[in-house]
Structure 1
């Protein structure tokens, strides 16, 4: 009965991840991981231990994701490795693939895109993966190639992600879903960032607008704030590449209204890229650029108290 309740609690947390305060997700995921680890110490029944390892791996994966959003990259890496280890113990392909995908994502955030591609390739070899799992890995691979400036490989991965449609599913990415899922709006948002890394304003704008269009079809209480905010900022970045200051401001307005606790690492890094772009010589002396820059600095300063350790944004996406 305890394992049944744990399963229910983990599924509920994963599915409510994008609409629950990050601080609350952190608290709850840490609690669930502690409970599952405690249960594993108290049973030697093989079936119970298998379920316990899966629950521990899922809890560690969720905790890793929220640690990243709250700005603690080392903790996120450690917890994703823990999730991968639990998945290895019970030979659970989807959990291992998810954890390796997270490590690949964290690798290019640490300035190691070559390692990121290697981890994606490893993740793609695990058994039992559905379309959602493969799409997520291809999107991450595209971002990694984008960081290396490899346009051909990046665009190939983006297209493969969009074309992935074999009809296969898996229990983690599809049945549990939520933070383990990777819906079309998240695919589009992440692909926008890949195009930005390649310096392709048109592709980035199209993908960001696609993400916002897809998000707009969802009920307001079902829209993931982290994804929608990042899409708005990437839309602004695409317009900034073309020097359209009015368009940049219009795209950023919804992001400026996001409560401080929802200003995660991905959002702050994207905002830092906009701030850096506004300092380019072509905008020197432009009042709009000065005002926007000041608002971004205020936006970032207000978010810092919500981050683990109060760390500044990571300088990777620029």
Structure 2
């Protein structure tokens, strides 16, 4: 009964992740991980231990994701390693792939894109993965190659995110879904960031626009605020590459209105990249650039109290 309830609670949290206050997600995920670890200490029944390890791995994965959003990169890395270990114990391919994909993502955030490529390649080798899992890993791979300025490999990975259509599914990325899922709007947002790293303003704007269109087609209460905010900032960044200050401001306006608790690490680092871009020589002395820069600094300062840790390196380099 306890394992059944624990499993239900983890599924609910993963599916409510993008509609729940980040600190509430953090609290609940931490509690669920503690319960799962406690249950593992209390049973030696093989089937119960297998379910306990799966619950612990899923809880650790969700907790890792929210620690990243709240700005604690070291905690996120440690928890993803924990999730990978639990997945290894029970030989659960999708959980191991998700955790290694998260470690690959965290590696390029930590300034180690070559390590990111290695980790994502490991993740792609696990068995039992469905189309969603493979799409997510190709999106991460594209970002890693873009950090390495390998345009051909990055673009090849982006194309692969759009080509996974075998109809295969797995019990984590598809069965649980939510934060473990990777829907088309998230694919488009991630690909937009990849294009930004490559300096491709047109590709970035097209992908960001696609993400926002897909999100706008969803009921308002089902739109993931973290993803939509990042897509808006990516759109602004693409326009900034072309020197379109009016377009930058229009794209950023929805992001400026996001409550402080929803300004996750991905959003803050994207905003920081826009702030750096506004300091380019061609914008020197422009009143609109100065005003936008000040608003970004205020936006970031208001969010700083909502973070668990320090600021990691920029996700999008100037």
Work out whether the TM-score is over 0.5.
yes
Corresponding residue for residue 312 of structure 1: 311
> Aligned partners of 1:312 and 1:299: how far apart in 2?
15
Corresponding residue for residue 182 of structure 2: 182
* Counterpart check, 1:19 vs 2:19: yes
Structure 2 counterparts to residues 84-233 of structure 1, below 5 A: 84-233=84-233
Deviations 1:15-49 (A, max 9, x none): 00000000000000000000000000000000000
Corresponding residue for residue 67 of structure 1: 67
> Aligned partners of 1:305 and 1:312: how far apart in 2?
12
Corresponding residue for residue 37 of structure 1: 37
CA contact (8 A) 1:113 1:147 kept: yes
* Counterpart check, 1:296 vs 2:292: no
| Cα distance, 1:153 vs structure 2 | 0.2
> Aligned partners of 1:192 and 1:84: how far apart in 2?
28
> Aligned partners of 2:98 and 2:281: how far apart in 1?
42
Secondary structure of the residue aligned to 2:173 is helix
| Cα distance, 1:314 vs structure 2 | 2.9
> Aligned partners of 2:104 and 2:137: how far apart in 1?
9
* Counterpart check, 1:267 vs 2:267: yes
| Cα distance, 1:316 vs structure 2 | 4.1
| Cα distance, 1:156 vs structure 2 | 0.2
> Aligned partners of 1:260 and 1:221: how far apart in 2?
18
> Aligned partners of 1:281 and 1:313: how far apart in 2?
26
> Aligned partners of 1:145 and 1:312: how far apart in 2?
23
Unmatched runs of 5 consecutive residues or more in structure 2: none
> Aligned partners of 2:145 and 2:54: how far apart in 1?
31
| Cα distance, 1:315 vs structure 2 | 2.8
CA contact (8 A) 2:104 2:115 kept: yes
* Counterpart check, 1:46 vs 2:46: yes
| Cα distance, 1:138 vs structure 2 | 0.2
CA contact (8 A) 2:173 2:181 kept: yes
Secondary structure of the residue aligned to 1:171 is coil
User: What TM-score does the superposition give when structure 1 sets the normalisation length?
Assistant: 0.99
> Displaced runs of 4+ in structure 1, greater than 6 A?
none
Deviations 1:229-281 (A, max 9, x none): 00000000000000000000000000000000000000000000000000000
CA contact (8 A) 1:17 1:179 kept: yes
Secondary structure of the residue aligned to 1:164 is coil
Secondary structure of the residue aligned to 1:308 is coil
CA contact (8 A) 1:268 1:313 kept: no
Unmatched runs of 5 consecutive residues or more in structure 1: none
The number of residue pairs the alignment matches comes to 317
